Structure 1
Amino acid sequence: MEDQEFRKLLVQVHNSLSQNEMLELVFLCSDILKKDLSDVVTARDLFSLLQKRDLLSSDDSSLLVELLKIIKRDQLIRDLQLNPQLSRSRVSPFRRMLFELSENISDDDLRNIKFLLNNTLPRRKLQQNVTVLQLFLEMEKRGYMSANNLGTLESITEPVCPSLKKIISLYQKENGSSVPEEMKGRDKSDSQDTSVTTRPDPPEDTAAYHQEEPPSYLSHPLCTEEHSSGNAVQEQVAHLRLSETRNLAEGDRNLSFPEPNQNNTPKLEQYDMSGDWRGFALIINNYDFSNCQELKNREGTDIDEKSLVAVLRWLGFEIVKRQDCNRESMLEALDELRRRDHTQADCVVCCVLTHGCEGGVQGVDGKTVLLRELMELLDGIHCPSLQQKPKLFFIQACQGVHEQQVVFLQSDGPNNTSDVEFFCDAEVPRESIPAGADYLVAMATVSGCVSFREKSKGSWFIQSLCKNLEQLVPSGIDLLSILTKVNNDMSKKADRTGTRKQMSKPEFTLTKRIVFPIPKTPMPP
């Protein structure tokens, strides 16, 4: 590539980066350039410095590729037709580790960390607009942290988000870094004023799902939202001092998993979710059954659709919607999805909201489409670009063979005069999963049980699914564990008599774990 063409390419990169991404690149290059980069305000400035040091040129763009990979701009690498193969890494393991920590620290966590540093850094360095990376640079500048001195870093991150400890520990193990000798053998509370020695009491609905991850400080995000957004920072930090015994007692009330011995735990593979585009998400939403005498309109399904669109778009999916499909239109929608290019996609999602019968789902014409018919269109034979990628189906299907039953649940208001209308949904079809790997189908209910769809709030299954994705994806929880939490929610649902319950059912032929990356922006309200 000619020098002039390369400069044009760098301008394209500059124009494609947000201000936050530019600051991330500056942080990652601070070791490489070995100078204060606080005066660097644009990506162009940074590229000029790298070129002057012969670290970036038309003959060697590997550093640019490495930086873009770290900040997860893989699509930009592809768009610019840069060689994605790296002969060597120039960004230091220390810088990578700190960046990975920053990716797992929420805004609420950052406020707590700043509170813990009140007696360590000047107040102007702890203002609201100071980012995690800027905070790390200030700690380095003042000698509170280095590649071989992580004591203060551990003391401010572990109480706020204990799972971050694994990222730091693995870095120390792989790079020989440790706490300075003068700190060894001392109680943490004596080593720094900022130390907090006990874990926070986690919220009841997420505590059971803080699973131990395979050790990797460059793995998917691990940190959790562990504080109520309405609490003041002082209250949150006070909660950090609750006893470990109480945490264990509270955890006994939840579904819990024993913590594995990391030394003996095999590393479980994960499907690659490193791209900046998750893939297509098809939502088939059938409401209007007015032309089918046996089936009623599906009240409340529009609420389910809105919830799915919001959470799937937040997770990085491109939404494709189809309304009121008959049998032929449903098959056409899946065939159209099959013919799309999934080469750059991490996975594919298909949500079907409709009436159902034993073994399939129904179009608005009352005709049945077997689940196997829908799913086989996306197998490796019919859709080669989805080979070895997860194919995720979420089915909310209402019963079509029997007359729809209506369950009225009395409200908790005065005199119990307000009724809430619920509709019963279908039994789960048998033989849901077709032959072949990498499928997951999550059904609203198991065979023999009903599934409820509330007219004003949507279905129990879809609403629980969306709520738990929103709450647990930022914690780095894998999809099957999230669906286990959905099962737990469903098991507690019942009508007013307590005799009619619901249990959702995931079935799968997945060969690896599915862990969605933490979205960079909060879930929109």
Structure 2
Amino acid sequence: MQTVLEFQRVLLKVQVSLTVEEVQDLVFLCSDLLSLKDLSTVTSAGQLFSLLENRDLLSWEDPSLLLELLRILKRSSLIRSLISEDVMPTNGTIYSQQISPYRQLLYELSESICEQDLKNIKFLLLKTLPRKKLEKDTTLLQLFLEMEKEDLLDGNNLDVLQKIIADINPSLEKRIIQYKTESCETGGMVIAQEIGDITPALYSPAPPSLLTSCTSGLGNLQYKVNEQPVGAGEMARNRDLSDFDKCQIVMARQIKQYKMKGDKRGVCLIINNCDFKDCGLRNRDGTDIDKKSLEVVFQWLGFEVLTEQNCDRHQILQVLRDLADRDHTSADCVVCCVLSHGQIKGIVGVDGQIVTYRELIETLSPSQCPSLFKKPKLFFIQACRGTDDQPAAFPQIFPDDEVMPVSDAAVPRDSIPEMADYLLAMSTVPHYVSYREKDSGTWFIQSLCHNMKLLVPRGVDLLSILTQVNSDVSKKTDKSGLKKQMPQPEFTLTKRVVFPPPKTRPPLP
């Protein structure tokens, strides 16, 4: 309670230190993190901070967004004051860039445009934007937002803005060209948002318990300079970066994203198998914790969540056929989560019968569901793929009341069919078990949900999130220190899967 009160004092101090214009600047800078509807009602820094806290973007434990916003506003003295007075934690605080370079570019341009230049810009936009959007009191940042609404401006489309700026202030055009060049060098991806820059003058390195770096949008590509994680722009400029690494970054520029702008995000089907007493297998106690976590996360992401309980082989295939019969034309993708016992060949229904992985995913193939053609079909499988522990552990006796993980094993691997746009995220590699704790769910699903909540708002692509899940789960073990698990994603995706940061969703619990 004391730390919460202290943090509120920090926010109050910042609030009274900011001008009305600076609050408007903060609102613009946060327009990728919060919904425009929520931001339209913000008239004070306090209201903005409350929204960020409700979305778990700002807290005593992680004040990095506040520090970043103050840095962009060039309020260095205020930052030094907060730190020197020891009113907020700095030990281990990561400077993780959540405000995109694109948003910072627009803010930088607005700071360099004089009043006469703004009038000239409004004149040039007379035939493009409604007159009421070009009124005298409209600021340049507000104009940028209107241009975004009309699809005239975004991080990958600066041509209209560049042409206008070139006519008004040619010197500023060079800044836009520089941004385009850096975006090309970094593959058009804001890696700094995902790894996090560190400002040595203000922050110390994070302890191991904090997320100091995660895989970038380039898949497994990750760079360190002097053993400190750095952002993509800095990487591209670093002289020590090899020609091969630079080539890899430039090549990633060609990796496009699946469109995520439909009327609906899509359906998320969760098959949750717990009761196996009829076929002689152990019940999967704790699986309802995973089910609830998945429901919360995918509803937050904008999916229509459907849950099916205790399905046998026939029912599993039938609910997938029902899903395939739906019209997904207005959807962006489809998700299927299966929580069950498993073997190397596939998942096990509550009747003990196997549904192979091939059968599982072919139900949503383009021939069975044309409306999902060229759309990502994402499968998350929590099930064993064998009976081996990883690595093999010597027998060990535990007290009866001691909590220990149990496997989802049921006492020759199918590959993904040669078709595009599939992801099969498996909780473990072939031949090995995966673990489930009765009181807290499975290692894989809980890590998946945690990292989705943490990294989706920062623009991290799904394969990179799964790489972080791999890292997290690989570090877990039971109390004996002998049981390990290694998840494995398999995919035929042709583009990057990046979920838009939820803007109108309720805060996560």
Match of 2:448 in 1: 465
Match of 2:310 among 317, 324, 327: 324
Q: Distance in 2 between matches of 1:247 and 1:328?
A: 54
Q: Distance in 2 between matches of 1:174 and 1:141?
A: 14
> TM-score of the superposition, structure 2-length normalised?
0.57
Contact preservation (8 Å) 1:211, 1:477: no
Match of 1:518 in 2: 501
Structure with the larger RCO, 1 or 2 (CA within 8 Å, 6+ apart):
2
**2:272 is matched by which residue type in structure 1?**
N
Match of 1:54 in 2: none
Q: What's the Cα RMSD here? A: 5.1
Q: Distance in 1 between matches of 2:267 and 2:437?
A: 28
Match of 2:428 among 445, 467, 470: 445
Contact preservation (8 Å) 2:187, 2:254: yes
Match of 1:251 among 216, 225, 229: 229
Match of 1:507 in 2: 490
Match of 1:269 among 249, 253, 256: 256
Contact preservation (8 Å) 1:470, 1:523: no
Match of 2:203 in 1: 239
Match of 1:113 among 69, 89, 92: 69
- Residue 373 (1) aligns with residue 329 (2): no
Contact preservation (8 Å) 1:222, 1:476: no
Q: What CA deviation, in whole Å up to 9, does each residue of 1:29-66 have, x standing for no partner?
A: xxxxxxxxx9xxxxxxxxxxxxxxxxxxxxxxxxxxxx
Match of 1:313 in 2: 299
- The 3-state SS of whatever aligns with 1:239 is coil
Q: Distance in 1 between matches of 2:194 and 2:69?
A: 14
Match of 1:354 among 324, 335, 340: 340
Q: Distance in 1 between matches of 2:311 and 2:349?
A: 6
Match of 1:87 in 2: none
Q: What CA deviation, in whole Å up to 9, does each residue of 1:405-434 have, x standing for no partner?
A: 9999999xxxx997222112349x712412
Q: What CA deviation, in whole Å up to 9, does each residue of 1:187-231 have, x standing for no partner?
A: xxxxxxxxxxxxxxxxxxxxxxx9985338xxx998459699xxx
- The 3-state SS of whatever aligns with 2:278 is coil
How far 1:335 moved relative to its partner? 1.0
**1:251 is matched by which residue type in structure 2?**
P
- The 3-state SS of whatever aligns with 1:305 is helix
Match of 1:281 in 2: 268
Q: What CA deviation, in whole Å up to 9, does each residue of 1:255-294 have, x standing for no partner?
A: x99764666654212111122421000000001112222x
How far 1:370 moved relative to its partner? 1.5
| Structure 2, unaligned runs of 5 or more | 1-33, 44-56, 59-63, 77-102, 122-139, 142-153, 174-182, 207-222
Q: Distance in 2 between matches of 1:509 and 1:246?
A: 29
Match of 1:290 among 270, 277, 290: 277
Q: Distance in 2 between matches of 1:406 and 1:332?
A: 39
**1:443 is matched by which residue type in structure 2?**
M
Contact preservation (8 Å) 1:112, 1:237: no
Q: How many corresponding residue pairs?
A: 358
Match of 1:10 in 2: none
Match of 1:214 in 2: 187
Match of 2:176 in 1: none
- The 3-state SS of whatever aligns with 1:440 is strand
| Structure 1, unaligned runs of 5 or more | 1-17, 27-37, 39-105, 121-131, 154-165, 185-209, 229-234
**1:338-353 alignment to 2 at 5 Å?**
338-353=324-339
> TM-score of the superposition, structure 1-length normalised?
0.56
Distance 1:248 1:277, change over 3 A: farther
Q: What CA deviation, in whole Å up to 9, does each residue of 1:486-519 have, x standing for no partner?
A: 1112222233444432111111111111111111
Q: Distance in 1 between matches of 2:184 and 2:253?
A: 14
Match of 1:484 in 2: 467
Distance 1:145 1:391, change over 3 A: farther
Distance 1:410 1:267, change over 3 A: farther
How far 1:113 moved relative to its partner? 2.5
How far 1:449 moved relative to its partner? 2.6
Match of 2:31 in 1: none
**1:510 is matched by which residue type in structure 2?**
L
- The 3-state SS of whatever aligns with 2:228 is helix
Distance 1:408 1:238, change over 3 A: farther
Distance 1:369 1:212, change over 3 A: farther
Distance 1:291 1:426, change over 3 A: closer
